[in-house]
Amino acid sequence: MVNKKCNNLIFDVGARKLNISALTIFRLSIFLFTFCILCFMFYDSVFASVLYLSPSSQKVYLDESFIVEVKLDTEGRDINAVDAKIRFPDTLKVIDISEGGSILRLWPEKPVIDKNIISFTGGMPNGFIGEGLILKITFRPLKESVGVRKVSFVQDLSKVLLNDGKGTEDEVEFKEGSYEIIKKPQELPIIFSETHPDQNKWYRESTLKLYWDFEENALYSYILTHNPLEEPDDISEMTGTELKEKGYIEYNDLKDGIYYFHLKKAILNEQKLEWTQKTTFKIMIDCEAPEEFMPEVDKSPSMFNGQYFLSFSTQDAVSGLDHYEVLEGKNIQDNMGGWRLATSPYLLEDQTLESIIKVKAVDKAGNERIVEVLPKKRLSFFRLAVLGIISLGIFWWIVRRFKKQKI
């Protein structure tokens, strides 16, 4: 109901009436309009893609390696390419860079290191919306280098591109990581593994056996987790059924992935349990071969002087691809040696296309996927023989039938 005399609006809200002046409504309208304009102006920056490092902070012992994941959150935008540079300090050394499990499926430039900067360019066909892993970087602090170490993106040289068919750059927010390197306390238990001895190596073994230097008068709390920051609780595990014997634990049928076995020790001191800081043992398991793929043979006048080349690409969901190898041979059973390290595009040795081509993709755990390409020109003797027999059989049947009908 509008009270025209007073230029006020009177609303019936239940049993109450709200008397709002026209001036108030005008002011409210202006405010809402301005707010909408501001939202529109800052929409892009508020909802820009985010390139970040995970964990964003961590305490790391001096003699231990740690993994930093490079991640992308598209904030609802459709992204199809990332071109980035990551800077790290002199006091850290890169042990490994893994593309395993990355949302980027094709890499025009695989990660390389040059003067403390990791550079890479990768993309995902048909785009990606959401949050996902790009890379896993394993760092190790250099000796005697305690302190806070920052790892960050080189912002003016890093970009994220929209899946719009035009190569448009998206607004990007960058978040760096901060890692505190500290000396390892001496009283911590020492953990080692019979099945996965090297913490920086991938293993094709799903049974994990862990040992630590057990002390009779000590209590232990531990946890096996995918989270590097998780802490065991302050409850002793000594009564658990997992322990085969003191200072030894076994896990069976573990799924692929990176695990952290966190362990801490407690000693009774004046009837009070004192728990130490945790110590961690990292385990990396990958039992799965790289994904299926189909190489293709082609030629282009502008490449390799028009000679035939092989194109191939696949991914590994866990540890990441290590390398490809190619074997060309005329004998289908020929798999003894002759494998050559290869990258795509690969110039074929046999330009007559009469050889069988095998491509092997090997991941960082040593799992292999071998695929075979039969060039179009090649027909095996066996297939020719089968075709010949069938053709003869058909011909004989036709002749016989003809004779019968003639009679």
Partner 1 sequence: MKVKIDYKEVFLYRNKKIIVLILILFVFLIFPFSQGYSQLSQNLDISVETIIGAPSPPPQPQAPQIFTPGGIYPLTKVIFKGRAYPDAFLTLLKNGEVAGTFFAEDSGIFEKEISGLENGRYSFSIFAEDIDGRRSPSVEFALDILKWTKTTISGISIPPTISVYPTKVERREVINIIGYGFPDSEIHIFISPGQIVKKTSVSSDGRWNYELDTSFLKEGEYVLKARALFEDGRQSECSQILSFSVVPSGAYSCWGADLNLDGRVNVVDFSILLYFWNNVEPANWCADINADRVVDVFDFSIMMYSWTD
Q: Where in 331-350 is the site for partner 1 (CB under 8 A)?
A: 344-345
126 part of the interface to partner 1, by CB under 8 A: yes
309 part of the interface to partner 1, by CB under 8 A: yes
81 part of the interface to partner 1, by CB under 8 A: yes
164 part of the interface to partner 1, by CB under 8 A: yes
359 part of the interface to partner 1, by CB under 8 A: no
Given a contact cutoff of 8 angstroms between Cβ atoms, the answer to whether 256 and 287 are in contact is yes
Given a contact cutoff of 8 angstroms between Cβ atoms, the answer to whether 107 and 121 are in contact is yes
123 part of the interface to partner 1, by CB under 8 A: yes
132 part of the interface to partner 1, by CB under 8 A: no
Find the binder of partner 1 among 14, 125, 197, 337 (CB under 8 A): 125
Using omega within 30 degrees of 0 as the cis cutoff, is the peptide bond preceding 345 cis? yes
Given a contact cutoff of 8 angstroms between Cβ atoms, the answer to whether 313 and 106 are in contact is yes
DSSP state of 184: P
393 part of the interface to partner 1, by CB under 8 A: no
95 part of the interface to partner 1, by CB under 8 A: no
- The secondary structure of 15-74, three-state, reads CEEEEEEHHHHHHHHHHHHHHHHHHHHHHHHHCCEEEEEECCEEEEECCCCEEEEEEEEC
85 part of the interface to partner 1, by CB under 8 A: no
Find the binder of partner 1 among 145, 276, 313, 335 (CB under 8 A): 313
302 part of the interface to partner 1, by CB under 8 A: yes
Q: How far is the CB of 357 from partner 1 (least distance, A)?
A: 15
76 part of the interface to partner 1, by CB under 8 A: no
300 part of the interface to partner 1, by CB under 8 A: yes
Given a contact cutoff of 8 angstroms between Cβ atoms, the answer to whether 221 and 235 are in contact is yes
Given a contact cutoff of 8 angstroms between Cβ atoms, the answer to whether 309 and 297 are in contact is yes
171 part of the interface to partner 1, by CB under 8 A: no
Q: How far is the CB of 177 from partner 1 (least distance, A)?
A: 24
Classify 301 as helix, strand or coil: coil
Closest of 372, 321, 309 to residue 346, by C-alpha: 309
Distance from C-alpha of 253 to C-alpha of 139, rounded to nearest angstrom: 28
109 part of the interface to partner 1, by CB under 8 A: yes
Q: How many residues bind partner 1 (CB under 8 A)?
A: 33
312 part of the interface to partner 1, by CB under 8 A: yes
Distance from C-alpha of 94 to C-alpha of 65, rounded to nearest angstrom: 9
Contacts to partner 1 by CB under 8 A: 80-81, 83, 106, 108-109, 121, 123-127, 159, 161-167, 295-296, 298, 300-303, 309, 311-313, 344-345
